């Protein structure tokens, strides 16, 4: 229906994944405990769905959405994004 988010097929991206907790504010200003950090050169939106390594992308219930996405650095050829789940 109108206003619903639709997604395309999953795409694998190269990323560094760490099981590291951090308390951050979500878009509503609430404190949220994140459990994973992902560093990637691929831009990730806050409404993206993310499956951590070894999880099946055919199971939508295993998908996570970012609590926060930060642009953390720009190199000569790329920008890095820190995604907190």
pLDDT tens, position by position, for the chain (85 residues)?
Answer: 577 878 888 889 999 999 999 999 888 899 999 999 999 999 999 899 999 998 999 999 999 999 999 998 777 777 899 999 9
Sign of dihedral through CA atoms 51, 57, 63, 66?
positive
Point out which residues pair with 40 in neighbouring strands: 15, 81
Interatomic CA distance for residues 41 and 77, integer angstroms: 10
**pTM, entire model:** 0.82
């Amino acid at each position: 229906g109108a206003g619903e988010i639709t997604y395309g097929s999953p795409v694998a991206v190269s990323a560094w994944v760490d099981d590291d907790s951090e308390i951050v504010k979500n878009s509503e200003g609430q404190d949220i405990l994140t459990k994973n950090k992902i560093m990637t050169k691929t831009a990730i939106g806050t409404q993206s769905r993310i499956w951590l390594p070894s999880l099946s992308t055919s199971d939508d219930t295993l998908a996570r959405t970012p609590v926060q996405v930060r642009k953390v650095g720009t190199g000569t050829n790329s920008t890095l994004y820190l995604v907190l789940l």
